[in-house]
Amino acid sequence: MIDFNVPPYVGTEMKYVEEAVAVNHKICGDGPFTHRCSEWLEKRTKATKVLLTTSCTHATEMAALLADIKEGDEVIMPSYTFVSTADAFVLRGAVPVFVDIRPDTMNIDEKKIEAAVTEKTKAIVPVHYAGVSCEMDRILEIADRHHLMVIEDAAQGILSTYKEKALGTLGDYGCFSFHETKNYSMGEGGALLIRDGRNVERAEIIREKGTNRAKFFRGQIDKYTWVDAGSSYLPGDMNAAYLMAQLDRADEIFEDRMKSWELYRKLLTPLSEAGKIELPVVPEGCTHNAHMFYIKARDLEERTALIEYLKEKDIQAVFHYIPLHSAPAGERFGRFHGEDVYTTRESERLLRLPMFYGLKEEQVRCIADKVTEFYR
């Protein structure tokens, strides 16, 4: 069986974990490896500040707190996204307002956003699907004109760029994921990227249970206390050590995934040119990170048949999100603005092929061959 995903593993992870335990004697949050990860991410993304978190979900929850999202506020986002994108704001009492996506990138349609803005709108949450950027210039322009916050869900977007700027650094806040399905992993984990340095101190307080403990450890105050609402969003340093081993070889992982992505594209282009399938689109000005390689079948029925065909050939290919606006909680907590032209239709066509660090060339060729066989 060719699995859909294999968590990344470079071989030095356990050495780093052992160092955290046996040498540093620091396994709780904000130890040496946590700081190393944060510094690495700040250097690579040029973010003002990066705080490692227990998940991308928690990074988004922190962003919602920092943006002062309150009950009755509205937050604009795509329906084609993971539930955490909406959950972070629903927990604050806000209403997710879903708008349609672009069929080419599966990202929020920037041309549909402004019509969804009301006097209750507080933020826009662009989700960079498959590590390919949304049209951020337009989104930022709308946000600026209406005095809205922009919180990037860049769970899939680490090391991708929009006009040479790292995803996660264009909005007020950005959120990364280091889940085992992502390009770089600590099992469960994430990061919050902060653009404005004036927001760093409050972010540290929220992350440290509402205390100013971070300033205490830096020697800036002689004792710490409870100063704001917060929670515990710090990952343990063993998790950070595991991640750091991969960040130290980030370019190797990146290039390996890109090689598989490009080979998929080359081998499946004849099917695309014949009108049998559609391939991913990367707009001009965007670079991606090979987080995902997907194809689009004609419709739900064809996709279901293709999944079963590949399963019979020992290949695990999977669909992705069920649009949130059609889920029970989406109907209860949110609303869809405008017409659902592409969200449901395109979600029913999309099929993700196996993609992970260490995927062999012969496996990619086998998968592409079987997809091609299905369409003969």
Q: Tell me how many domains the chain contains.
A: 2
Q: How confident is the model at residue 192 (pLDDT cuts 50, 70, 90)?
A: very high
> Is the same domain home to 331 and 188?
no
Structure confidence at residue 212 (pLDDT): 87
Residue 3 within any structural domain of the chain: no
The pLDDT tens digits for 28-62 are 999 999 999 999 999 999 999 999 999 999 999 99
Is-contact 112 137, C-beta < 8 A? no
Structure confidence at residue 173 (pLDDT): 98
**Residues 172, 195: Cα–Cα separation, whole Å:** 5
Structure confidence at residue 327 (pLDDT): 97
Structure confidence at residue 336 (pLDDT): 98
> Is the same domain home to 275 and 221?
no
Mean pLDDT of the 282-295 span: 98
Residues whose CB is less than 8 angstroms from the CB of residue 134 and which lie 6 or more positions away in sequence, other chains included: 105, 107, 108, 110, 126, 127, 128, 162
Single-letter residue type at 165 = K
Residue 184 within any structural domain of the chain: yes
Residue that finishes a domain, picked among 247, 263, 283: 247
> Is the same domain home to 223 and 304?
no
Mean pLDDT of the 206-217 span: 86
**Residues 296, 294: Cα–Cα separation, whole Å:** 7
> Is the same domain home to 284 and 192?
no
> Is the same domain home to 226 and 105?
yes
Structure confidence at residue 222 (pLDDT): 66
* CATH number of the domain bearing residue 219: 3.40.640.10
- pLDDT above 90 covers a percentage of the chain that reads 95
Computed over every residue of the chain, the mean pLDDT equals 97
Residue 279 within any structural domain of the chain: yes
Q: State yes or no: pLDDT of 172 exceeds 80.
A: yes
- Judged on CB neighbours under 10 Å (0-12, 13-18, 19+), 272 is middle
| Secondary structure (3-state) at 175 | strand
Taken in order 155, 157, 159, 164, is the CA torsion positive or negative?
negative
Residue 7 within any structural domain of the chain: no
β partners of residue 124: 76, 150
> Is the same domain home to 94 and 44?
yes
Residue that finishes a domain, picked among 247, 275, 309: 247
Residue 126 within any structural domain of the chain: yes
> Is the same domain home to 235 and 294?
no
Is-contact 315 370, C-beta < 8 A? yes
State which H helix or E strand residue 204 sits in.
helix 200-207
Residue that finishes a domain, picked among 205, 232, 247: 247
Q: Which two tokens stand for residue 293?
A: 């390689």
Residue 18 within any structural domain of the chain: yes
Residue 2 within any structural domain of the chain: no
Is-contact 344 323, C-beta < 8 A? yes
> What distance, in Å, lies between the first and last C-alpha atoms of the chain?
23
The pLDDT tens digits for 299-346 are 999 999 999 999 999 999 999 999 999 999 999 999 999 999 999 999
Is-contact 139 99, C-beta < 8 A? no
Residue range of the domain that includes 280:
250-374
Q: What is the pTM of this model?
A: 0.96
DSSP string, 1-66: -B-S------S-HHHHHHIIIIIS---SSS-HHHHHHHHHHHHHH--SEEEEES-HHHHHHHHHHH
Mean pLDDT of the 85-98 span: 98
* CATH number of the domain bearing residue 357: 3.90.1150.10
- 């404005």: which residue's tokens? 196
The pLDDT tens digits for 221-280 are 766 889 898 999 999 999 999 999 999 999 999 999 999 999 999 999 999 999 999 999
Residue 1 within any structural domain of the chain: no
Is-contact 354 316, C-beta < 8 A? yes
> Is the same domain home to 19 and 32?
yes
